[in-house]
Structure 1
Amino acid sequence: MEPFSTTPGAGFRIGRRELLLGTAAAGFALAVRPVAASTVTTSAEGLDAGWVSVPAADGAVRAYRARPARGSGLPVVLVVQEIFGLHAYIQDVCRRLARLGYLAIAPSLFDRQGDVTVLPDIPSILPLVATVPDAQVMADLDATAAWAAASGGGDVSRLGITGFCWGGRITWLYAAHNPKLKAGVAWYGRLVGQASDLQPLYPIDVIPRLKAPVLGLYAGQDDGIPMESVERMQAALKAAGSPSRIEVFPGLPHGFHADYRPTYREAAAAAGWTQMQAWFRANGVV
C-alpha cells in the first residue's frame, strides 16, 4: 500500500473489489451508498484514534477523535459533520488532521434526535436534521472543546473548526458564538435561508458578530448553494470590513471534497485542504 500523504486524494485507497464486496461501505451512512472507488482511508497507525464520550449539559455526546499518539498541548480542531452524520468520511478527516499534528474531534450532533446513518436517503434525513436546534449544536461544540482541553491533551487557546455542507453553515455560526475560537474553515455551507425557531440565523446574519475569521470554500456550480447567495455573502463581508473571505472553485459541484461521492474532485479537494492548513497557521491554530 502507498504511504500516507497529508493531501486529500492520497493515502491508502480502497480497492474497487473491496467496494463491490461491501467491506469498505460498512462505516458509511446508508444514504451515501454505493461508496465511490475514490474513497480515501487514512491509517490510524501512530495515532490515538477512536470513540470517546463527551459530558454535556443533558447527558453525554459521542465523539470521534484522532490525535498523535504522543504529545500534549496539541492545537484542537472541531470537525462538523454533513447531514449524513458522523460516518467514515468525517472520521477519516479527523485522522488526516491528526497526521498534521492536531487533536481533531467530531461530536455526533444529531444523536438526541436520531441516527441518520441508518436512514436510506436524503428525503428521510432532512426532516430529522430540521429538528436539531442550533443552540444544542453550539452547546455540544462548547462541551467538545472543553473535553479536548480537560481529557484529550488539547490546547484550546489554539482552537479551530471546520465543517462540511451542513457543518459549513455551523462553522460560520460557531465563529460568531465562541470568543475563544481562533479560526474556521467552512466547506460549502449554506449562507442564506429561511429562519425557523430552531435555526433562527444563517451566516449572512452573523457577520457583525464573527469573533474569529472564517475561510469559506465554495463550489461555482453548487446545485444547493446558488452563486447569488455566495456573492451576496462576499459583498456583505467586504462591507463589514471582515477578515473572513470566500474562495470560489469555478465549475465544481457541491461536495467536491467528499472523496466517497461522485462529486469528488481530487485536485480541488487538495487545493482546498492546503488553503485550510494555511488559514489555520495564519490565525494561530498551530
Structure 2
Amino acid sequence: MPVETNWVRYGKKQEYIGYMAKMDRVNENLPAVIVIQEIWGVDAHIRDITERFAQAGYLAFAPDLYAENAERIEDLKEERVVEVRNFLDTLPHTVWNNPDEREQAILELEEGKQNRVTKTFEKMFGGIQSSVYIENLLAATSFLREECKASKGQGVVSIGFCMGGALSGLLACRDQQLKGAAIFYGTAPSEEELKNINCPLYGFYGELDKRITDHVPAFDDQMKSSHKSFDYQIYQDTHHAFFNDTRSSYNVSAARDAYQKVLQFFNNVLVKG
C-alpha cells in the first residue's frame, strides 16, 4: 500500500514542523511513532525510516528540531548540513573531535566554504540543546495524542538515533504518557532523570562504539535499581550508526535484527499493552 507523506505544523502557535507518514487509504486512528533525528537533521535517511514505520502500520512523525517558526534556520538548512557531512567524510573519524586538526582541514577550504562549514559545524556540534528540543518533542507527542486526526487518542512511542537516541531516552523521562522509547546508540539519561521514566526502554548499541556502549552496563544497573524496564542489545564487531544505510558504518545484519526487535517492542507496548 502506498505511503502518504507531508510536512505538518504543530505546537500552540504552530511554531514547529515535522515530517508525517502513514499508509494511504487507512482511515482508522493509528498508534504513533516519533522518529527523532540524528545530528544530520530530518534528512533523506530519517524520512525513509519514518516511511518504514508507516509501512509497518503506524502513524510516523519526525519533528524537525532544526526549524524555528516552522522553517530551517539558515546555518542548519539541509544543503548546509550536507556540506558539513561531505567535508567530514573526507577526514579520518578521529579528526572529527580533534579541534586543531579539524580547524587545519577547514583552513584548506576556499574562504566562502570555510565560513559556511565553521558556522554550521558549530551549530550542529555545539552541544545538544536538550531543553529546546524536548519542548519541541513534548509538543509533538501532545499533538499526536490530542489533535492529529490520524492518531488522536492512541498511544505514542519514540525512537531516536545518536543525538536522537539520547533525546528518546530523555523524552521518556519527561513525558509520563509515553508508551515506550527505543534508543539507538545514544547516551543515557542522568541517574536523577531516569527516576522519572514511566515506560519500558530498549537500547541498541554497537560493540565498537566504546564512547557510548561502555556506559550501557552502568545504565542498566541504574535502571534496575530504580525498578525501571530496560532491555538492550549490543552487536558484536559493529560501529556507531550501524542502522544508517547511507554511512560507511552501516551493518546490514545488525540493522535487520534491530528493526525486527524494535517492531516487536513497539507492538508489545502499544498494541498488547
Deviation at 1:82, TM superposition (A): 0.2
Deviation at 1:207, TM superposition (A): 2.1
In structure 1, the partner of 2:176 is 179
Deviation at 1:171, TM superposition (A): 0.6
Instruction: Tell me the number of residue pairs that the alignment of Structure 1 and Structure 2 aligns.
Output: 230
Deviation at 1:89, TM superposition (A): 0.4
Structure 1 or 2, whichever has the larger Rg, is: 2
Contact 2:21 2:50 (C-alpha < 8 Å) held by counterparts: yes
In structure 2, the partner of 1:216 is 203
SS at match of 2:15: strand
Residue by residue over 1:194-221, the C-alpha shift from the partner in whole angstroms, topping out at 9 and shown as x without a partner, is xxxxxxxx34442211111110111111
Residue by residue over 1:3-33, the C-alpha shift from the partner in whole angstroms, topping out at 9 and shown as x without a partner, is xxxxxxxxxxxxxxxxxxxxxxxxxxxxxxx
SS at match of 2:16: strand
Mapped partners of 1:148, 1:234: distance in 2: 30
Mapped partners of 1:99, 1:203: distance in 2: 34
Instruction: Note if 1:244 corresponds to 2:230.
Output: yes
- Alpha-carbon spacing, 1:223–1:156, altered in 2? closer, same or farther (3 Å): farther
Residue by residue over 1:147-171, the C-alpha shift from the partner in whole angstroms, topping out at 9 and shown as x without a partner, is 3342341045411000001000001
State how 1:79-228 maps to structure 2 within 5 Å.
Answer: 79-112=35-68, 114-115=75-76, 117=78, 118-119=80-81, 120-121=83-84, 124=118, 125=120, 127-129=122-124, 130=126, 133-149=129-145, 150-191=147-188, 202-225=189-212, 227-228=213-214
Mapped partners of 1:203, 1:276: distance in 2: 23
User: What is the RMSD of the two structures over their aligned residues, measured on CA atoms?
Assistant: 2.1
Mapped partners of 1:205, 1:60: distance in 2: 31
Identity %: 23
Runs of 4+ with deviation above 4 angstroms: 122-126
SS at match of 1:162: strand
Instruction: Note if 1:265 corresponds to 2:213.
Output: no
Deviation at 1:236, TM superposition (A): 1.6
- For residue 277 of structure 1, the aligned residue among 246, 258, 263 is 263
Contact 1:53 1:60 (C-alpha < 8 Å) held by counterparts: yes
Contact 2:200 2:230 (C-alpha < 8 Å) held by counterparts: yes
Mapped partners of 1:256, 1:131: distance in 2: 22
Contact 1:177 1:211 (C-alpha < 8 Å) held by counterparts: no
Contact 2:38 2:163 (C-alpha < 8 Å) held by counterparts: yes
* Structure 2: 5+ residue stretches without partners: 89-95, 97-117
- Alpha-carbon spacing, 1:139–1:240, altered in 2? closer, same or farther (3 Å): same
Instruction: Note if 1:61 corresponds to 2:58.
Output: no
Provide the TM-score with structure 2 as the length reference. 0.77
Deviation at 1:285, TM superposition (A): 5.0
Contact 1:237 1:245 (C-alpha < 8 Å) held by counterparts: no
Mapped partners of 2:191, 2:267: distance in 1: 25
Mapped partners of 1:264, 1:153: distance in 2: 33
- For residue 233 of structure 1, the aligned residue among 219, 226, 229 is 219
- Higher helix share goes to which structure? 2
The residue type equivalent to 1:282 in the other structure is N
Mapped partners of 2:128, 2:207: distance in 1: 28
* Structure 1: 5+ residue stretches without partners: 1-44, 192-201
The residue type equivalent to 1:102 in the other structure is Y
Deviation at 1:146, TM superposition (A): 3.1
SS at match of 2:250: coil
Contact 2:138 2:171 (C-alpha < 8 Å) held by counterparts: no
In structure 1, the partner of 2:27 is 71
Mapped partners of 1:156, 1:263: distance in 2: 38
In structure 2, the partner of 1:14 is none
Contact 1:56 1:140 (C-alpha < 8 Å) held by counterparts: no
Contact 2:172 2:198 (C-alpha < 8 Å) held by counterparts: yes
Contact 2:206 2:237 (C-alpha < 8 Å) held by counterparts: yes
Deviation at 1:180, TM superposition (A): 0.9
- Alpha-carbon spacing, 1:94–1:164, altered in 2? closer, same or farther (3 Å): same
Deviation at 1:135, TM superposition (A): 2.2
Provide the TM-score with structure 1 as the length reference. 0.74
Deviation at 1:245, TM superposition (A): 2.2
Deviation at 1:85, TM superposition (A): 0.5
